[in-house]
């Protein structure tokens, strides 16, 4: 059962909604257009708000679904943590996109939300605040996840802390190109990207 749930977690994470929806409804290829990243943000940039936000919401639900399945069927905290990690790995290195994928933020948010609704709302508020403060969505969401991890440590809520930390490391790795672009002044600022999406 453990192995089956782990495989299922990866496969659920692998479903590339932010590639499928723009391709089907707008004939946009998020692997080749915009930021060339098949994630929710690029779905907004390339396909507009409706398709982009819908893609993002479905990616969030991947995290929620995997959390609920793992929590229900798996007894070992180690395997639950591993299932959560595999959901993000599936999103980031999708079996259906020849192991290309997004950056895992939406799936991570789904995991946080399923773990604690309050933490999920806190993540959204912090992401908005940090993004408005820094003008970069990538920095905003990464600071928010780090804040959630710190909050969980101080609250003594450590059941899924291993998964949170590993996933955060994966998030940082997947955003390395963003850091380079920011240092070069080439990263798209949030308002610029949203303005282009609205056109």
Question: Using one digit for the tens of pLDDT, what is the confidence trace for 69-127?
Answer: 999 999 999 999 999 999 999 999 999 999 999 999 999 999 999 999 999 999 999 99
Instruction: Report yes or no on 50 lying in a domain.
Output: no
Give residue 161's domain range. 2-15+61-187
- When pLDDT is cut at 50, 70 and 90, the band that residue 192 belongs to is low
Residue 57 has pLDDT above 80, yes or no: yes
Q: How far is CA 49 from CA 171, 175, 179, 196, 198, in A?
A: 24, 22, 25, 10, 7
Most confident region among 48-52, 120-124, 133-137, 153-157 by mean pLDDT: 120-124
Instruction: Report yes or no on 197 lying in a domain.
Output: no
Instruction: Report yes or no on 39 lying in a domain.
Output: no
Residue 34 has pLDDT above 90, yes or no: no
Backbone angles phi, psi at 75, to 5 degrees: -90, -30
Share of the chain above pLDDT 90, in %: 78
Cα dihedral sign, 154-115-78-108: negative
Instruction: Report yes or no on 70 lying in a domain.
Output: yes
The total number of structural domains in the chain stands at 1
Instruction: Report yes or no on 35 lying in a domain.
Output: no
Residue 187 has pLDDT above 90, yes or no: no
Backbone angles phi, psi at 107, to 5 degrees: -65, -40
- When pLDDT is cut at 50, 70 and 90, the band that residue 196 belongs to is low
> First vs last Cα of the chain: how many Å apart?
49
Instruction: Report yes or no on 154 lying in a domain.
Output: yes
| Dist CA 162 CA 169 (whole Å) | 11
Q: Which residue would you say has higher pLDDT here, 89 or 1?
A: 89
Instruction: Report yes or no on 38 lying in a domain.
Output: no
Residue 193 has pLDDT above 60, yes or no: no
Average pLDDT value for the chain = 92
Question: In the prediction, which pLDDT does 112 show?
Answer: 97
Q: Which residue would you say has higher pLDDT here, 186 or 123?
A: 123
CB burial of residue 131 (10 Å; 0-12, 13-18, 19+):
buried
Cα dihedral sign, 117-69-37-175: positive
Instruction: Report yes or no on 41 lying in a domain.
Output: no
At which residue do the structure tokens 């905290």 appear?
Answer: 77
């Amino acid at each position: 059962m453990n192995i089956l749930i782990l495989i299922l977690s990866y496969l659920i994470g692998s479903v590339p909604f932010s590639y499928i929806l723009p391709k089907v409804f707008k004939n946009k290829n998020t692997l080749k257009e915009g930021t060339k990243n098949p994630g929710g943000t690029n779905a907004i940039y390339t396909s507009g708000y409706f398709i982009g936000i819908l893609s993002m919401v479905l990616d969030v639900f991947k995290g929620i679904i995997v959390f609920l399945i793992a929590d229900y069927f798996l007894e070992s905290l180690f395997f639950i943590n591993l299932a959560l990690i595999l959901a993000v790995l599936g999103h980031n290195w999708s079996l259906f996109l020849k192991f290309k994928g997004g950056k895992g933020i939406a799936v991570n948010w789904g995991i946080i939300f399923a773990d604690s609704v309050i933490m999920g709302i806190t993540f959204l508020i912090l992401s908005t605040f940090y993004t408005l403060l820094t003008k970069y969505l990538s920095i905003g969401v990464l600071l928010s996840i780090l804040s959630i991890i710190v909050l969980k440590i101080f609250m003594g809520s450590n059941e899924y802390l291993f998964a949170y930390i590993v996933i955060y490391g994966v998030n940082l790795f997947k955003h390395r190109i963003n850091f380079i672009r920011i240092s070069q002044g080439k990263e798209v600022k949030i308002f610029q990207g949203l303005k282009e999406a609205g056109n």
